[in-house]
């Protein structure tokens, strides 16, 4: 019986920021250049800045559906990511 749980892992937050596809309600955006309207089902890279996507996060709860469409990408939790980025920005490291 396979269920989804979050796994804690040390990550390179700069690497995530440069290669993250953020899925919204209907399409996705690129965290590197903020390009909007990306088709998250098929996009391997951003058509605007050219970055290749390695990570994916979602604003919705449809994690299983998105994971099934993109098994090639590492699924990260958007709230976890935003929390860490906010913390780093507050400390002035970015």
Q: Which stretch binds Zn ion (CB under 5 A): 5-13, 32-40, 74-82, 85-93?
A: 32-40
Q: Going by DSSP bridges, is the β-strand pair 28-30/20-23 parallel, antiparallel, or unpaired?
A: antiparallel
**Closer residue to Zn ion, CB minimum distance, 68 or 72:** 72
Q: Determine, following the binding rule CB under 5 A, whether residue 38 of this chain makes contact with Zn ion.
A: no
Give dist(CA 2, CA 24) in Å, integer: 25
Q: Which stretch binds Zn ion (CB under 5 A): 14-22, 36-44, 45-53, 67-75?
A: 45-53
Q: Which of 82, 85, 84 shows the shortest CA–CA distance to 22? A: 82
List of residues contacting Zn ion (CB under 5 A): 30, 32-33, 35, 46, 48-49
């Amino acid at each position: 019986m396979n269920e989804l749980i979050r796994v804690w892992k040390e990550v390179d937050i700069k690497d995530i920021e440069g290669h993250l596809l953020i899925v919204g309600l209907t399409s996705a955006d690129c965290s590197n250049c903020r390009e909007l309207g990306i088709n998250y089902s098929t996009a391997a890279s951003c058509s605007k800045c050219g970055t290749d996507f390695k990570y994916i996060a979602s604003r919705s709860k449809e994690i299983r559906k998105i994971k099934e469409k993109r098994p090639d990408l590492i699924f990260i939790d958007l709230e976890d990511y935003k929390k860490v980025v906010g913390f780093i920005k507050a400390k002035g490291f970015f």
